[in-house]
Amino acid sequence: ENDWNEALKQAAAKNKYVFVDAYASWCGPCKMLKNTTFKDKKAAEFYNKNFINISIDMEKGQGPQLAAQWQMQAYPTLIIFNPKGQPVMGTVGYIKAPDLIRFGEAALKK
């Protein structure tokens, strides 16, 4: 959690995309995402197999700098980056597990 540079290193080494959960500690929909969608077995298996996954608190550590760089508007924001750290796709707000899987599948095709 919270180490963007480490996630990028792993992505480059394994030639995988990076899935970022950009959240804030006070955000209700962010907590719902962690407690439901991310605990869904199919979604977890799909993301663990296909992506380097990282959650970043956008108000701590590297978060504020990344929030500015990525022009964050709201939380949760889910972003998929290619192994070079370039954004491929993003979505804002709570998302259910089947939609999260579709989002990941669409990003892998880009």
Q: What is the DSSP letter of 109?
A: T
- The 3-state secondary structure of 33-76, one letter per residue: HHHCHHHCHHHHHHHHHHEEEEEEECCCCCHHHHHHHCCCCCCC
Model confidence pLDDT, tens digit, residues 70-102: 999 999 999 999 999 999 999 999 999 999 999
Whether 1 shows a pLDDT value over 90: the answer reads no
Whether 69 shows a pLDDT value over 80: the answer reads yes
Reported confidence tier of residue 2, pLDDT bands at 50, 70, 90: low
